[in-house]
C-alpha cells in the first residue's frame, strides 16, 4: 500500500511522537489556558447539567450568536436554520464537497491548506488553482468554474481578502451563477478579516457558503465547533449531506464556545494576539541570525512561513533535518497542491505554542540551517 503523505499525516506524526518532539505543525492553539479560560473550563460539569436541562436549539442558538458576534459577523443568518454545527471545519468542508455536483469545476485559492483540495478531489470535483496574485488583481475565473473557494485569512500566507475585493468577487459570482465558498477558519485571530462578509455577499446577491472554526482560537484539546453557513439562494443539498454525516454537535461544547467567545471580546483576543506576536518576533530574530527571513512579515495569523534562499537547502531537506533533531514543522510543498515544487522554498511553523517551545524550535532551525549551508 502506498503511504499517504499530506499535511495532516505530518501533523498526526507530530502529535503522536513517542519521543516527545516539539510540535510546531498544526495551527491549533496548543497553549496553557489563561486564568480566565481556566475558570470557564472548570465549569464544564455545570454545562453537562445544562445540556440535560435546556433544549438543544436554545444552546446552539446562544453559541452561534456569541461566536459570530465576537468575530464581527453580525449579518450571519443566526436563528434562520442555515447555520449547521459540525464537530470540525474539516467535516464541514467534506459536507460542502459532497453537496456540490459531482464533476463540477471548482477554483481553489493557491497555495492553501491541502485538505481542502484533497476532500474536493475525493468527492469527484475538478479543481483549478486561483493564485493569490489573481485574487489581488481581481481576476476571477469564468466558465466552466461553478464555485470559487477563498480562504480568509489564507493559511499559510496570512493573506486577507480586502473587503472591496470580496465585493468584486461576489458581484462576479452573482453575474455568472457561481457559488462563493469562504473558509474562514483563522478569521477569529485577525480583526482585519472580521469585516462582515455575510453582508457583503448578500448585498451582491451571491450564492455563498461559509465555514467558520473555533479550533484555532482556544486551547480546548479538540473540543471545538465548525460552523457551516449557507445563503438563502443556494439549491445545493447541504442539509442532506449534513444529515448523512452527523446528528448534532455536542451541547456541552457549544456552551463552552459561548463562554469562551465572551472571554474573547473581554480581553481574550488581545492576550492571545500578544503571545502570537511575541513568538513571531523571536522566530524572525533567531532565523535572521543565519540569513533567513519571514516570507509573510505582515501576516497576523498564528502560523509563519520562512523563506529559504534558492541556492540553499529546500524545505523538504530542512524538514527532515528538523525531524532528526526532534522538531516537527511543515514543508510547504503540500500547500501548493497544484504545483508542489513552487512550495519548496518555504517552511511553516505554528506560533500558537508556548514562548519557550517556539524559541527552542527557532534556535534548532537556525542551527540546522547553518550546518546544512557551511561557508555561507
* The length of the chain, given as a count of residues: 376
Residue 358 to residue 356: CA distance in whole angstroms: 6
- Domain extents for the chain? 7-32+267-372, 35-262
Q: How many CB atoms lie within 10 A of CB 143?
A: 9
Quote the pLDDT of residue 1.
36
Residue 320 to residue 358: CA distance in whole angstroms: 18
User: Looking at the DSSP assignment, which residues form a beta bridge with residue 150?
Assistant: 182
Residue 331 to residue 270: CA distance in whole angstroms: 29
Dmax (CA) of the chain:
69
User: Looking at the DSSP assignment, which residues form a beta bridge with residue 347?
Assistant: 306, 331
Residue 176 to residue 16: CA distance in whole angstroms: 46
* CATH class of domain segment(s) 7-32+267-372: alpha beta
Quote the pLDDT of residue 4.
61
Architecture of domain 35-262: 3-Layer(aba) Sandwich (3.40)
Q: What is the pLDDT of residues 272-303, one digit of tens each?
A: 999 999 999 999 999 999 999 999 999 999 99
Q: Is the pLDDT of residue 112 over 60?
A: yes
Quote the pLDDT of residue 18.
82
Residue 265 to residue 188: CA distance in whole angstroms: 11
Contact 198, 83 (CB under 8 A): no
Cis before 144? omega within 30:
yes
Q: What is the pLDDT of residues 40-75, one digit of tens each?
A: 999 999 999 999 999 999 999 999 999 999 999 999
The answer for 291, left when phi > 0, alpha when psi is -120 to 50, beta otherwise, is left
Quote the pLDDT of residue 5.
80
Lowest mean pLDDT among 19-23, 120-124, 266-270, 327-331: 19-23
Q: Is the pLDDT of residue 27 over 80?
A: yes
If one compares 17 and 176, the residue with the highest pLDDT of the two is 176
Give the 3-state secondary structure of the chain: CCCCCCHHHHHHHHHCCCCCCEECCCCCCCCCCCHHHHHHHCCHHHHHHHHHHCCHHHHHHHHHHHHHHHCCCCCCCCCCCCEEEECCHHHHHHHHHHHCCCCCEEEEEECCCHHHHHHHHHCCCEEEEEEHHHHHCCCCCCCCEEEEEEECCCCCCCCCCCHHHHHHHHHHHHHHCCEEEEEECCHHHCHHHCCCHHHHHHHCCCEEEEEEECCCCCCCCCCCCEEEEECCCCCCCHHHHHHCCCCCCCHHHHHHHHHHHHHHHHHHHHHHHHHHHHHHHHHHHHHHCCCCEECCCCCCCCEEEEECCCCCCCHHHHHHHHHHCCEECEECHHHCCCCHHHHCCEEEEECCCCHHHHHHHHHHHHHHHHHHCCCC
Residue 2 pLDDT level (bands cut at 50, 70, 90): very low
Q: Is the pLDDT of residue 3 over 70?
A: no
Chain-wide mean pLDDT for the chain?
Answer: 96
Residue 42 to residue 295: CA distance in whole angstroms: 40
Given the C-alpha cell 501576516, which residue does it identify? Answer: 299
Contact 51, 255 (CB under 8 A): yes
Residue 203 to residue 325: CA distance in whole angstroms: 52
Q: What is the pLDDT of residues 343-372, one digit of tens each?
A: 999 999 999 999 999 999 999 999 999 999
Q: What is the pLDDT of residues 215-249, one digit of tens each?
A: 999 999 999 999 999 999 999 999 999 999 999 99
Amino acid at each position: 500500500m502506498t503511504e499517504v503523505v499530506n499535511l495532516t499525516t505530518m501533523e498526526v506524526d507530530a502529535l503522536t511522537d513517542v519521543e516527545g518532539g516539539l510540535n510546531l505543525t498544526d495551527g491549533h492553539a496548543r497553549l496553557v489556558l489563561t486564568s480566565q479560560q481556566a475558570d470557564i473550563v472548570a465549569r464544564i460539569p455545570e454545562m453537562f447539567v445544562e445540556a440535560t436541562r435546556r433544549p438543544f436549539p436554545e444552546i446552539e442558538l446562544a453559541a452561534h450568536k456569541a461566536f459570530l458576534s465576537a468575530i464581527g459577523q453580525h449579518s450571519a443568518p443566526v436563528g434562520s436554520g442555515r447555520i449547521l454545527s459540525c464537530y470540525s471545519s474539516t467535516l464541514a468542508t467534506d459536507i460542502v464537497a459532497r453537496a456540490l455536483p459531482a464533476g463540477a469545476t471548482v477554483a481553489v485559492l493557491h497555495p492553501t491548506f491541502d485538505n481542502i483540495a484533497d476532500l474536493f478531489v475525493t468527492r469527484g470535483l475538478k479543481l483549478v488553482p486561483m493564485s493569490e496574485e489573481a485574487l489581488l488583481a481581481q481576476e476571477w475565473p469564468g466558465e466552466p468554474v461553478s464555485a470559487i473557494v477563498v480562504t480568509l485569512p489564507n493559511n499559510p500566507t496570512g493573506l486577507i481578502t480586502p473587503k472591496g475585493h470580496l465585493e468584486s468577487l461576489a458581484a462576479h459570482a452573482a453575474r455568472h451563477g457561481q457559488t462563493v465558498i469562504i473558509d474562514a477558519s483563522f478569521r477569529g485571530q485577525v480583526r482585519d478579516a472580521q469585516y462582515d462578509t455575510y453582508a457583503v455577499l448578500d448585498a451582491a446577491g451571491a450564492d455563498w457558503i461559509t465555514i467558520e472554526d473555533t479550533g484555532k482560537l482556544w486551547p480546548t484539546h479538540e473540543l471545538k465547533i465548525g460552523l457551516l453557513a449557507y445563503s438563502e439562494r443556494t439549491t445545493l443539498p447541504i442539509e442532506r449531506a449534513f444529515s448523512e454525516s452527523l446528528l448534532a454537535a455536542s451541547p456541552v461544547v457549544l456552551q463552552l464556545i459561548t463562554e469562551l467567545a465572551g472571554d474573547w471580546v473581554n480581553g481574550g483576543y488581545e492576550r492571545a494576539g500578544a503571545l502570537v506576536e511575541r513568538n513571531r518576533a523571536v522566530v524572525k530574530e533567531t532565523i535572521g541570525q543565519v540569513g533567513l527571513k519571514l516570507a509573510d512579515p505582515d501576516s497576523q495569523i498564528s502560523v509563519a512561513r520562512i523563506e529559504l534562499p534558492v541556492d540553499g537547502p529546500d524545505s523538504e531537506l530542512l524538514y527532515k533535518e528538523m525531524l532528526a533533531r526532534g522538531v516537527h514543522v511543515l514543508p510547504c510543498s503540500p500547500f501548493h497542491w497544484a504545483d508542489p515544487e513552487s512550495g519548496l522554498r518555504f517552511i511553516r511553523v505554528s506560533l500558537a505554542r508556548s514562548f519557550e517551545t517556539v524559541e527552542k524550535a527557532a534556535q534548532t532551525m537556525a542551527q540546522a540551517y547553518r550546518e546544512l549551508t557551511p561557508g555561507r
